[in-house]
């Protein structure tokens, strides 16, 4: 199998994960479900940017992916601190 075809297949699978996690954000019965969905959207976006950087040989995608990964981590830590202070959900 050719590398370009594998990259496209990986992008399609990650796009599917994005849509599934978007569904969890919209329909999630609890705040925890929504936060996990948003975190998964961030991770999927980072994966898409890394694959786009590989496909286009553009290094700017990698810089953006690192920034989004750091912001996603900080958002998760902020939610954890919020949940700790309020006693859960």
Domain range for 24 is 3-86
Length of the chain equals 89
What CA–CA distance (Å, rounded) separates 48 from 15? 8
Number of domains in the chain: 1
Digitized pLDDT (tens) for each residue of the chain, 89 residues in all = 788 899 999 999 999 999 999 999 999 898 888 889 999 999 999 999 999 998 888 888 899 999 999 999 999 899 889 888 887 66
What CA–CA distance (Å, rounded) separates 39 from 68? 11
Q: Report pLDDT for 88.
A: 64
**Whether the model pTM is above 0.85:** no
What CA–CA distance (Å, rounded) separates 37 from 58? 28
Question: Residue 22 belongs to what H/E stretch?
Answer: helix 3-27
């Amino acid at each position: 199998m050719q590398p370009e075809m594998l990259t496209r297949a990986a992008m399609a699978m990650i796009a599917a994960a994005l849509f599934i996690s978007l569904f969890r954000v919209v329909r999630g019965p609890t705040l925890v479900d929504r936060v996990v969905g948003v975190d998964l959207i961030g991770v999927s976006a980072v994966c898409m940017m890394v694959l786009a950087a590989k496909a286009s040989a553009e290094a700017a995608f990698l810089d953006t992916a690192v920034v989004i990964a750091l912001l996603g981590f900080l958002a998760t830590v902020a939610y954890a601190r919020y949940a700790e202070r309020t006693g859960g959900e």
